[in-house]
Each structure stands twice: as structure tokens, then as C-alpha cells.
Structure 1
Amino acid sequence: MFRFLIIIEKADGNYSAYSPDLPGCVATGKTREEAEKNMHEAIAFHIEGLKDDGLPIPEGKSSASWVLV
């Protein structure tokens, strides 16, 4: 099992998502929940592609936190 941080951003009329640890792996959705679900599927597909190509699966190293100012 792998663990990757995903970032979900509100865009014009939808949501977009990406993982800093998986460059090029992105997804969108009409809702935040749909973008998160689609990103989960995109990551699974991306990892399968890496495995099929004999490439290493990167370690999830990113983290996030909130800052109150």
C-alpha cells in the first residue's frame, strides 16, 4: 500500500487535484469529492504504469499543514 498527499484546488466551475510526489498525475471533478475519487483512480493507474514499465514507485514524502496568521 502506498500513501501520497494530494492537493485539491477550487477552479472555475470545478476542482482540480494533483500529487506533489507524482509529477504529471492529475485529475478533475465537478465536486471536491469527485476530484478526490478521480485522483485516487489516477494514482492507482499511474502506479500500475510505473510497475508495467519496470520503474520505481516514488516514496510519498510531501506533507501539508495550515498556518494561522
Structure 2
Amino acid sequence: MRYAIKLALADGAYIATCRDLPAFNSVGNSPEEALRESVDALVLSLWGYIDEGRPIPEPSAKQGDERWVSVPSGDMAEIGLRQAK
């Protein structure tokens, strides 16, 4: 599973956001660092949905200059198991 992430430069840092996950955010000193940090932020956002008993939003299509960030397979398997309960 992967989500489209938008990067924006603000005050010398790259801020990552996701249209599909409003609570998601991440930051880095470079685009690469912001995207690396986005992996953890993405997993934490998805766990938040599970912990609150809400369905995980489906990823939408990438738009413009957004970039894909994927949920690591081990985390996705664990999230899938928790959703099935």
C-alpha cells in the first residue's frame, strides 16, 4: 500500500503532507529526509486509525508533483491482522 505525499518547502525545512490522511505530517532538512521520515509517520497515522476503530482511507491517485511513500510490508501485514479482528 502506498500513499501520495506532497512536499513543501517552509522556513528551510521540507514539510510532507498527505491528502488521504489529514493527521499525517512529517518534516526533513531535504526532500529525501522528509520522505524517509514519512514512512514512520505514515505507519503511525495508520495505527491511529486502527486504535480509534476507524477504517483506513484508501490511497488516492498521485497528483502533480506528489511522491509515493509505501507502507513497509511487515507493518502492512500487522495492520491487516489488526483490522481483521
Q: TM-score, normalised by structure 1?
A: 0.82
Q: CA RMSD in A?
A: 1.4
Q: Residue type of the partner of 2:19?
A: P
User: Relative to structure 1, is the Cα distance of residues 49 and 24 closer, same or farther in structure 2, using a 3 angstrom cutoff?
Assistant: closer
Q: Which residue of 1 aligns with 2:62?
A: 63
Secondary structure at the aligned position of 2:2 is classed as coil
* 1:11 equivalent in structure 2: 10
How many pairs align?
65
TM-score between the two structures when normalised by the length of structure 2: 0.68
Deviation of 1:48 after TM superposition, in Å, equals 1.0
Work out the CA distance in 1 between the residues paired with 2:49 and 2:24.
Answer: 12
User: Between Structure 1 and Structure 2, which shows a larger proportion of helix residues?
Assistant: 2
Does residue 38 of the first structure (1) align with residue 13 of the second (2)?
no
Q: Using CA pairs below 8 Å that are at least 6 residues apart, which structure has the higher relative contact order? A: 2
Percent identity over the alignment is 34
Partner-residue secondary structure (3-state), 1:4:
strand
Q: Write the distance in 1 (CA, Å) between the matches of 2:23 and 2:61.
A: 15
Structure 2: runs of 5+ lacking an equivalent: 66-85
